């Protein structure tokens, strides 16, 4: 089983979509990690709803989507290999028995089987686009749980950014212009340690990017996913046009 799936199609547009936490699969050899199906279906196992949004968006833009298919409980593909929260022993109050006291060989197997192939696929796509002179804007898609440790999060979506905030600020304005409550580096701030995909693939190459988080209760249903697909398929190209006009990138 491949550790990633590719959806949509590249018709020469600027966007490449990536989704680190879209999947729920666990390799057969790891059983269920000692975590019940109910617990695995919570936000600790995957980014609820984001697979529907990502796949719909890949069709609508259109753009290529590279999606991780394994649960983040097996290995978190938005963490550098060896990071303390790469393979979690506990997540949001739930113990992960299958992740206790792993030896270096066991961790390394998960990196080789799951983390590296996914990031190699993204790297290959970015290299190919660069080789043919195609501009790339990386869109990292995530979703977040509405309540965390008793705190009810007010944002409907969040835009995360770090070194290059230009496109993020444009997208923030557009989403807020729709009357939405949108977090600016909330519910998480993008950093080199709490993230891996954007620092590694966008910031290191100097590519413009947006990391977007959507609140999970808004995209649990197909209707909610379709609403966000339509919104993002409209606003991402609009944000990119403003970015190109403002900063002189080729569109």
Q: What is the closest distance, in whole angstroms, from the C-beta atom of residue 140 to Zn ion in the complex? A: 8
Residue 141 or 167: the one with the smaller Cβ distance to Zn ion is 141
Q: By C-alpha distance, which of 216, 199, 211, 75 is closest to 141?
A: 211
Residue that has been written with the tokens 């910031």 in this structure: 203
Number of residues that bind Zn ion (CB under 5 A): 3
At 64, list the tokens: 């290529």
Site residues (CB under 5 A) for Zn ion, limited to 139-168: 142
Q: What is the closest distance, in whole angstroms, from the C-beta atom of residue 22 to Zn ion in the complex? A: 8
At 61, list the tokens: 């833009």
Q: Indicate if the alpha-carbon torsion angle 147, 153, 154, 156 is positive or negative.
A: negative
Q: Per 3-state DSSP, what percentage of the chain is helix, strand, and coil (rounded to 5)?
A: 40, 20, 45
At 151, list the tokens: 């705190």
Q: Which of 5, 21, 172, 225 binds Zn ion (CB under 5 A)?
A: 21
Residue that has been written with the tokens 């060896």 in this structure: 82
> Of 85-93, 138-146, 203-211, 229-237, which part binds Zn ion (CB under 5 A)?
138-146
At 246, list the tokens: 């403002």
Residue 129 or 160: the one with the smaller Cβ distance to Zn ion is 160
Give the 3-state secondary structure of residue 140: strand
Helix-helix angle 222-247:166-177, to 10 degrees:
130
Q: Which of 39, 47, 195, 211 binds Zn ion (CB under 5 A)?
A: 47
76 to 115: interface string for Zn ion, x by CB under 5 A: ----------------------------------------
CA distance 158 to 175: 10
Residues composing the chain? 251
Residue 129 or 190: the one with the smaller Cβ distance to Zn ion is 190
Q: What is the closest distance, in whole angstroms, from the C-beta atom of residue 65 to Zn ion in the complex? A: 14
Residue 21 or 201: the one with the smaller Cβ distance to Zn ion is 21
Q: Check residue 231 for interaction with Zn ion (CB under 5 A).
A: no
Closest residue by beta carbon to Zn ion:
142
Residue 21 or 40: the one with the smaller Cβ distance to Zn ion is 21
Residues in contact with Zn ion by CB under 5 A are 21, 47, 142
């Amino acid at each position: 089983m491949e550790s990633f799936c590719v959806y949509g199609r590249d018709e020469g547009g600027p966007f490449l979509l990536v989704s680190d936490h879209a999947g729920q699969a666990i390799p057969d050899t790891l059983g269920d990690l000692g975590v019940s199906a109910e617990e695995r279906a919570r936000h600790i196992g995957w980014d609820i709803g984001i697979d529907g949004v990502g796949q719909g968006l890949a069709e609508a833009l259109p753009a290529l989507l590279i999606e991780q298919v394994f649960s983040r409980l097996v290995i978190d593909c938005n963490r550098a290999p060896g990071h303390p929260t790469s393979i979690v022993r506990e997540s949001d109050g739930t113990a992960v028995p299958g992740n206790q006291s792993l030896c270096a060989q066991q961790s390394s197997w998960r990196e080789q089987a799951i983390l590296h192939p996914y990031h190699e696929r993204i790297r290959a796509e970015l290299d190919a686009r660069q080789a043919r002179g195609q501009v790339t804007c990386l869109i990292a898609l995530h979703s977040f749980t509405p309540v965390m440790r008793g705190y009810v999060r007010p944002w409907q979506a969040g835009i995360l950014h770090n070194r290059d905030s230009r496109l993020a600020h444009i997208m923030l304005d557009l989403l807020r212009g729709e009357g939405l409550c949108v977090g600016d580096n909330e519910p998480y701030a993008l950093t080199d340690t709490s993230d891996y995909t954007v620092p590694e693939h966008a910031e290191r190459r100097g590519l413009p990017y947006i990391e977007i988080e959507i609140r999970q209760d808004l995209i649990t249903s197909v209707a909610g996913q379709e609403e966000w697909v339509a919104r993002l398929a409209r606003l991402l190209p609009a944000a990119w046009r403003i970015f190109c006009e403002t900063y002189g990138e080729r569109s």
